[in-house]
Amino acid sequence: MAMRLTTEIQYLKGVGPKLGDLFSRKGLKTLADLFEFYPRAYEDQRAARNIASLRPDDIVSIKATVVAVHSINMGRSARKMYDVVLRDASGQIHCKYFRVPYKGYFERFKPFTEVRVVGKVTEYRGRIEFHHPDIKDVEPDEETQDALIPLYTEIEGLATAKIMKLVRSAFAQIEEWPEEALPKWMREKYKLIPRQDALKDIHFPDPNKAKEYAEFKTAAQKRIIFDEFFWLELYLASKKAGFQKEGAPQIRNNGYGTNRRGRQYGAEAGNQYPLRRYGPLLQHYSGNGLYDEGKDQEHAPGKCIGTSPGSE
């Protein structure tokens, strides 16, 4: 059978019903779902260092050993700050978290376990530390991997390295891609690379653009962000003005789109496929005001449809 975006994951070579069911329970049923299961971060193994060499604002990848994990109450509230203490032959460093990345995250870190830490070095009260870095188990074969590694959220014990291999296998097996959903004039006006290229670049990152990936500034990430805001704002505009099918310009949503909360957008706006969302990117852009009035207005998706960016 020809592999398309609508093909179920279980039909990929090396997957099968059991593993396919595991992905399905997480809402990942088709190749489109898999391709839009974006990396949560990237690990630049070329930047590997030891603790003593770290400087504020460095974005690094280091190997270290877990010393201890502490939880500290934050004032009178029920909130807690978590502190993962790490050590290597050159020194010790604290990794602080003011929110829990996901349930069970800190239970994984046992004393004397070797881990890899990826993040930006921060100076706080004269001491360097990490705030919300990515900490993962050291993979046995990781030294043979590429220099810039996409990191995925683990799925019930399915390690990020295995997910990466599956995603890359899917790209090798897919045979048919749909036409672009956005018209050519729009892509040219806002300097958007093809959606297919953006998906590939996000899962096959260029090691020479490690800093741009960390700051969400690559052309691939900008294309995905644009799509997310565009379909969301198109939906909001249709709700506000009343969705009219007759006489409306035809813009396809061919399985490309925004996350599970966005599925309703496609259904209610008459699209054939559900929309998805690149949550981390949207949070980064909206949270930092990159599409606010007076900033980056040339590329603001809201301008395409006459609505105000960030109106969610």
Tens digit of pLDDT for each residue in 89-138?
999 999 999 988 778 888 889 999 999 898 889 999 999 999 999 888 88
Question: What pLDDT score was predicted for residue 9?
Answer: 95
Per-residue pLDDT at 122 = 93
Q: Which of 200, 185, 270, 266 has its CA nearest to residue 231?
A: 266
- Residue 20: phi and psi, rounded to 5, are -60, -35
Residues 103, 93: Cα–Cα separation, whole Å: 24
What pLDDT is recorded for position 54? 93
Contact in structure between 268 and 277 (CB atoms under 8 Å): no
pLDDT at residue number 306:
29
Q: How many CB atoms lie within 10 A of CB 50?
A: 14
Q: Which residues of the chain have pLDDT under 70?
A: 140-146, 242-312
Please tell me the pTM assigned to this model. 0.64
Report the alpha-carbon distance of residue 90 to residue 246 in Å, rounded.
Answer: 68
Q: For position 30, what pLDDT does the model report?
A: 94
- Measured in Å, how far apart are the chain's first and last C-alpha atoms? 40
Point out which residues pair with 64 in neighbouring strands.
115
Residue 258: which of 239, 241, 271, 245 has the closest Cα?
Answer: 271
- The torsion defined by the Cα of 208, 211, 214 and 220, in degrees rounded to 10, comes to -50
